């Protein structure tokens, strides 16, 4: 069964052709990162417009690379939630038009389920049940994957997602959007013990997490140093040469405005060590919850999903813990951690087998639970 799979929930337009849920025949991506970089984050209206420009030629390209024609498409799968509403709408409307024109089933797929399914491509023998640590840009949660389409959320973040936390700290350090990967690279060789950062424990569910305190502590540390030393505060960092007022502007408002230059009191932030300290802190919070969830559920396989699954520290820490516990660890190949079309084709196949298709009334949603409930 050839599924034409479409993704447009954030800043990548992606179209893939996937055969029987596991065999990727083509996987085409048009990234908008270079455009949004200028603004330090995704500008939703620009994202929607770029998706419209990219999606049609990308779909043609995906068919050509797969070596099939439109007549060989058996179904059309699309991310319908959650995401930037204007962006998701582009993919959904394209998918509806394609399904209608081809006379083939339309399969709506939830984006977190997409990310989980990236593991089916990297690990062809992986089958539910398993536990999945989902760490995407906007979501952090532990999901018990009982079957391909039957899942239970065991815990998650109460505030920022891990990816958001990385991105916001990276932005204050002057790293280009999205900063998670740059922060990861910068942390190599840093001293992770140099900056003790808070690790939140959440009342109630021990599997819940919180990253806003860590984010604020790291950003305050940078601001305090900048206030004392001006832009020269960032030692070995990438923002050292920039105007501090551009360095400290925070996504979503906030931040403080410093006089350009500041007063040189000699206080510096060791950027690699701060990045290493942040990475160690985020990783430890995630790994401890994953271990607890494994113990609670008795699952013998742990999968990881989402853009932050590319983080080298998290991958290393999870590998060590999985080995210690005698648990199988499934990490998606790096190219399947971030947004891509192949994972939509993988999950779409299983949604189809479960009878989860839609008609032309399908809508796009900015938020929806992984179980498809309104939030
Ligand atoms: O899953 P994804 O592509 O988007 C959502 O569906 O939300 O994840 C994007 C996130 C961004 O926050 C990005 O900074 C982060 O993944 N990311 C990383 C790394 N590579 C990407 N975070 C930490 N370390 C990395 N190596
Ligand atoms: Zn995503």
Tens of pLDDT, residues 149-206: 999 999 999 999 999 999 999 999 999 999 999 999 999 999 999 999 999 989 999 9
Name the β-bridge partners of 152: 144
Residue 345 CA to ligand 2 center (angstroms) comes to: 14
Ligand 1, atom 8: nearest CA belongs to which residue?
Answer: 307
Query: Quick one: pLDDT at residue 227?
Result: 76
Residue 181 CA to ligand 1 center (angstroms) comes to: 7
3-class state of residue 68 by DSSP: coil
Among the listed residues 78, 8, 5, the one whose alpha carbon sits nearest the alpha carbon of residue 339: 8
Residue 127 near residue 97 (C-beta atoms within 8 A): no
Mutate to test the pocket of ligand 1, among 307, 347, 366 (most ligand atoms within 8 A of CB): 307
Closest ligand 1 atom to Cα of 185? 26
Q: Show the tokens assigned to 13.
A: 């337009």
Query: Quick one: pLDDT at residue 55?
Result: 98
Residue 337 CA to ligand 1 center (angstroms) comes to: 8
Q: Is the CB of 24 under 6 A from ligand 1?
A: no
Name the β-bridge partners of 23: 19
Task: Report residue 280 CA to chain centroid gap.
Answer: 18
Q: Is the CB of 166 under 6 A from ligand 1?
A: yes
- Provide the phi-psi class of 32: left if phi over 0, else alpha when psi is between -120 and 50, else beta: alpha
Whether pTM > 0.95 for this model: the answer is no
Query: Quick one: pLDDT at residue 235?
Result: 65
Query: Quick one: pLDDT at residue 297?
Result: 97
Q: Is the CB of 30 under 6 A from ligand 1?
A: no
User: Which residue positions in the chain have pLDDT lower than 70?
Assistant: 229-233, 235-267
pLDDT in tens, 265-310: 446 889 999 999 999 999 999 999 999 999 999 999 999 999 999 9
Number of Cβ within a 10 Å radius of residue 77: 30
Judged on CB neighbours under 10 Å (0-12, 13-18, 19+), 229 is buried
């Amino acid at each position: 069964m050839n599924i034409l799979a479409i993704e447009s929930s954030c800043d990548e337009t992606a179209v893939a052709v996937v055969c029987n849920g596991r065999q990727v025949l083509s996987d085409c991506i048009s990234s908008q990162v270079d455009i949004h970089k200028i603004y330090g984050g995704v500008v939703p209206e620009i994202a929607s417009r770029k998706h419209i420009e990219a999606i049609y030629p990308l779909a043609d390209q995906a068919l050509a690379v797969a070596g099939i024609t439109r007549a060989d498409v058996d179904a059309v799968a699309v991310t319908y939630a959650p995401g930037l509403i204007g962006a998701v709408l582009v993919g959904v409307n394209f998918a509806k038009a394609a399904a209608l024109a081809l006379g083939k089933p339309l399969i709506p797929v939830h984006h977190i389920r997409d990310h989980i399914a990236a593991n089916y491509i990297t690990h062809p023998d992986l089958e539910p049940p398993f536990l999945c640590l989902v760490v995407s840009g906007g979501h952090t949660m532990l999901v018990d994957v009982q079957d391909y389409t039957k899942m239970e959320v065991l815990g998650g973040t109460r505030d920022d997602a891990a990816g958001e936390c990385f991105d916001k700290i990276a932005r204050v350090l002057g790293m280009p959007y999205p900063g998670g990967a740059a922060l990861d690279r910068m942390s190599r060789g840093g001293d992770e013990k140099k900056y003790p950062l808070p690790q939140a424990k959440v009342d109630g569910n021990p599997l819940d997490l919180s990253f806003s305190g860590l984010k604020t502590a790291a950003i305050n540390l940078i601001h305090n140093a900048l206030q004392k030393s001006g832009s020269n505060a960032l030692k070995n960092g990438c923002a050292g040469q920039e105007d501090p007022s551009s360095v400290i502007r925070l996504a979503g408002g906030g931040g403080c405005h410093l006089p350009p230059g500041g007063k040189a009191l000699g206080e510096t932030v060791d950027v690699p060590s701060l990045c290493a300290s942040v990475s160690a802190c985020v990783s430890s919070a995630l790994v401890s919850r994953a271990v607890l969830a494994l113990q609670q559920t008795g699952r013998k396989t742990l999968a990881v999903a989402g853009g932050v699954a590319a983080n080298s520290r998290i991958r290393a820490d999870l590998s060590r813990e999985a080995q210690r516990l005698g648990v199988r660890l499934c990490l998606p190949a790096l190219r399947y951690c971030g947004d891509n079309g192949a994972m939509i084709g993988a999950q779409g196949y299983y949604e189809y087998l479960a009878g989860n298709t839609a008609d032309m009334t399908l809508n796009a949603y900015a938020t929806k639970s992984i179980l498809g409930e309104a939030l």
